[in-house]
Structure formats: C-alpha cells, structure tokens
C-alpha cells in the first residue's frame, strides 16, 4: 500500500493537513531536547521529513539514521536528504546495538506496526540511559463537538481527497480507520509504561487532539 502511494505521499500529507504536519514535527524535535552532535534514529521515516528536521538540529557533528520497511519511500528520502543514512529496517527488530542513540523517534507510523508494544521496546533498547523516545501519532480529539467534526472530515473528506491525489482511495480509507481506533493519550502512555523502563513520560495533544506527541525518557 505504501509503495503504491510513495510518489505522491508528500503532496497528499501537505494538502490533507493544510501544512500543519510540519508544525507537529517541529514540536517533536523541540520536545526531544536534541543537541548538536547527538545521534538520532527515526523509525518509519517514510520520505524523511522528521529525519531532515532532526538533521538540522544535530548539525554536521551529529548523526541521523532513518529507517523504513518500504524501499520506495526511502528512495524519495535519499533524494531529499543525501546527507542522512537511510536504511531498510523493521522497527520491531532493529539492527542496532543497545545504547546507540540519544533520540529514537517515530511519526505517524507506530499504528501501522503489527506489534506496537515490541516497537516501543526496541526503540527504547537502542537508546542510551537518559535518551528520549519521541512518538508522534494521530489520536481522537477529546471534545465532543470538535471530535464529531473531525470524524466527519476523517471519514468523508480524507479518503476522497487522498484518493484523488494518489489514485489509491483504499489506502486512505485504511489510514482513516486505523487513526480512529489506535490508542491515544493515557491509553498509549500505559502501553509505553508496560513495555519499557522510563523515568518520565509526557503526553501532549496537538491541534485539539488530532495528533498526540509522546516523550519518554529512558531510565
């Protein structure tokens, strides 16, 4: 599915979110407390937008690795950012040693993983003590009124527009459905606590709860 929409994935994201997804990723970078010279692993990197944002933050002395299970997505990412290491990898079986990174991130990808709990455990495994796990994912707005409006948009507009841009409406019907049922807020925080050791976990709703930003500091 992701292979089939890779060529128009960036354009669809920008249109469907009205560009807000760039702001969400900027918030994720700030929340990570990343510094010049840090090492960052961005999982399910897609076409590399979050990895590129991290690359600017760590500077020439830092290192950013972006992984994904869809080679076609990574081909686009390599063209956009030749200075970043992009590798095909499964987030539930990361090919990196323990304590290899200062930050591990995943944006709008963990709900597409067969075993999200395992993904959390793996990303935390490769972090150094004090390292930050950053998860950016869609959620369900807590407000009834706004939630009803967003549900209408998510179920009606998103598949039609996404399908028109990419030619694969069924892909956006899947993305819509998965966003509507994936655990968010305290439910996702509980999933983090149950599968890795963190000294602290923060959960922040973005844009009235359309998206959620999670940060866990490895114990």
For the domain that residue 111 is a member of, what is the CATH number? 3.40.50.150
Contact 146, 208 (CB under 8 A): yes
What's the CA gap between 202 and 17, in Å, rounded?
Answer: 24
Tell me what pLDDT residue 200 has: 98
Tell me what pLDDT residue 161 has: 76
Let me know how long the chain is.
219
Name the domain count of the chain: 1
What's the CA gap between 5 and 138, in Å, rounded?
Answer: 19
Q: Is residue 126 part of a domain?
A: yes
**Beta-carbon contacts of residue 149 (< 8 Å; ≥ 6 apart):** none
Q: Is residue 172 part of a domain?
A: no
Please give the average pLDDT of every successive group of 10 residues along the chain, which has 219 residues: 60 69 93 98 95 96 96 93 94 97 96 95 98 94 84 81 75 69 94 98 95 97
Tell me what pLDDT residue 164 has: 79
What's the CA gap between 148 and 141, in Å, rounded?
Answer: 9
Q: Is residue 41 part of a domain?
A: yes
Q: Is residue 118 part of a domain?
A: yes
- Residue whose token pair is 């899947």: 174
**Nearest in space to 65 (alpha carbons), one of 84, 93, 91:** 84
- Rounded to the nearest 10 degrees, what angle do helices 9-17 and 20-31 cross at? 90
Q: Is residue 165 part of a domain?
A: no
Q: Is residue 158 part of a domain?
A: no
Tell me what pLDDT residue 1 has: 63
Tell me what pLDDT residue 16 has: 66
- Rounded to the nearest 10 degrees, what angle do helices 169-181 and 158-166 cross at? 140
What's the CA gap between 11 and 127, in Å, rounded?
Answer: 32
Tell me what pLDDT residue 62 has: 97
Q: Is residue 209 part of a domain?
A: yes
Q: Is residue 26 part of a domain?
A: yes
Domain of residue 207: give its range: 2-138+182-218
Phi and psi for 85 in degrees, rounded to 5?
-80, 115
**Nearest in space to 9 (alpha carbons), one of 133, 194, 167, 219:** 167
């Amino acid at each position: 599915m992701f292979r089939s929409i890779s060529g128009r994935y960036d354009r669809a994201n920008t249109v469907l979110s009205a560009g807000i997804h760039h702001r969400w990723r900027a918030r994720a970078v700030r929340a990570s407390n990343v510094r010049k010279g840090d090492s960052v692993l961005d999982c399910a990197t897609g076409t590399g937008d979050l990895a590129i944002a991290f690359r600017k933050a760590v500077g020439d002395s830092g290192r950013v690795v972006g992984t994904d299970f869809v080679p076609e997505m990574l081909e686009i990412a390599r063209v956009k950012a030749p200075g970043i290491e992009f590798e095909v990898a499964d987030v539930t079986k990361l090919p990196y040693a323990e304590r290899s990174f200062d930050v591990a991130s995943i944006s709008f990808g963990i709900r597409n993983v067969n075993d999200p709990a395992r993904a959390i455990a793996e990303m935390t495994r490769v972090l150094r003590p004090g390292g930050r796990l950053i998860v950016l994912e869609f959620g369900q707005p807590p407000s009834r009124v706004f939630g009803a409006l967003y549900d209408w948009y998510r179920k009606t507009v998103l598949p039609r527009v996404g399908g028109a841009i990419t030619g694969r409406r069924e892909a956006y019907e899947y993305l819509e459905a998965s966003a509507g049922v994936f655990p968010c807020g305290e439910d996702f925080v509980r999933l983090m606590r149950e599968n890795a050791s963190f000294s602290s976990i923060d959960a922040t709703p973005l844009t009235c709860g359309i998206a959620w930003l999670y940060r866990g500091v490895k114990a």
